[in-house]
Amino acid sequence: MNRKHTVLLFMSLVLAFTLFITGSTPTQAAATDLLITGVVDGPLTGGIPKAVEFYVVNNIADLSIYGFGSANNGGGTDGEEFTFPADAATAGDFIYVATEAVAFNDFFGFAPTYTDGTAPNINGDDAIELFENGVVIDVFGDINVDGTGQPWDYLDGWVYRVSGTEADGSVFNLTNWTYSGINALDGETTNATAAIPFPIGTYTPPAAGDTTPPLISSFTPADDSVDVAVNSNLVIGFNEDVQFGSGNITLHLSSDDSVVEAFDVATSGQVSVSGSTVTIDPTSDLSNSTGYYVTIDNGAVEDLAGNPYQGFSGTGVWNFT
């Protein structure tokens, strides 16, 4: 078994033993408003710039509930060494905390957001913990293992979060990150000219789930149509692809509101859906010079994400003669 696999197996066994002894489960990856997206151990004199990049997932009114610390040389947590100031942050912002500003600006071409001499003072073998109200919500690296020679070693290089992944919680996930390899930045003077540049500001969060319900874009025959052919199908166009949910689409007589035919979308063979189009084929032809209207139950039609069309009732939405 190679060294990498041996290390990963050992880490898994340690975690399993910890769970057995404590009976508790560590915090796992979860959606948070702030997360670690990158760590860089720079090549300039003194091993600078040293910095940590964070990404703001959702608007944050007060950053001071967050802080971070570096766990050096596998010595376990050092706790929260830097607390963010009570600033607001906007979703989509990147925040940079560096040990100093001059070399950071020389290497990256802009100033860091904040500076601190302790928390981001890393050497490529150190882990980073992000805290919210004193609780670890994200981590890079194993705080109890010196990173030298580990798969996550970033000496004179960098690590960067894979786009679409969320905070690691308190348990480091090796596969959530990309790695420059050690010494990748050796001899470089700026990130822009580096052969393997730190992918600064490139993280993108998971795509937001679709929560918007479908809307009707057309009726055939059109609302208030007259002289509709008696053998016409009734066709509803939506603004996105749809599927059947549960409930009825119902054809009524306008004269007395009686039900001509109720089509259970789950069982009726007289209704079908193709892409964004729902087609209703009444069992019997319509009658000449007779007024009709259609109603749709809430949830009878939904988009492919499961968002229900709200439906409609009454005579005024879709009627024809």
* One domain for residues 163 and 33: yes
Domain boundary among 158, 179, 200: 179
Domain end (from 179, 206, 231): 179
The answer to whether position 199 is within a domain reads no
pLDDT in tens, 96-151: 999 999 999 999 999 999 999 999 999 999 999 999 999 999 999 999 999 999 99
Q: Are strands 114-115 and 66-71 parallel, antiparallel or unpaired?
A: unpaired
- Mean pLDDT confidence for 199-219: 91
Task: Report the predicted TM-score, pTM, of the whole model to 2 decimal places.
Answer: 0.62
What CATH number does residue 276 fall under? 2.60.40.1220
Q: Give the number of domains in the chain.
A: 2
Same domain for 78 and 153 = yes
Q: 203 in a domain, yes or no?
A: no
Edge-first strand order for the sheet with 66-71 is 82-83, 66-71, 127-132, 135-140
228-287: pLDDT as tens digits? 999 999 999 999 999 999 999 999 999 999 999 999 999 999 999 999 999 999 999 999
Compute CA distances 247 → 175, 242, 279, 300, whole Å. Answer: 44, 15, 15, 5
Residue 8 in this model has a pLDDT that exceeds 70: no
Do 171 and 34 reside in the same domain of the chain?
yes
Nearest to 161 by CA among 34, 11, 60, 39: 39
Please identify which residue in the block is written with the tokens 């940079």. Answer: 96
Give 184-196 pLDDT, tens digit per residue: 999 999 999 999 9
Looking at residue 65, the DSSP 8-state letter turns out to be: G
Q: Using alpha carbons, select from 314, 283, 288, 313 the residue that is nearest to residue 298.
A: 313
Give tens-digit pLDDT for 63-110: 999 999 999 989 999 899 999 999 999 999 999 999 999 999 999 999
**What's the pLDDT band for 206 if we cut at 50, 70, 90?**
confident
Whether residue 193 is contained in a domain is answered as no
Q: Containing domain of residue 283, as a range?
A: 216-320
Asked whether residue 20 is domain-assigned, the answer is no
Q: Tell me the CATH number at 166.
A: 2.60.40
pLDDT band per the 50, 70, 90 thresholds, residue 12: very low
Same-domain status, 166 and 98? yes
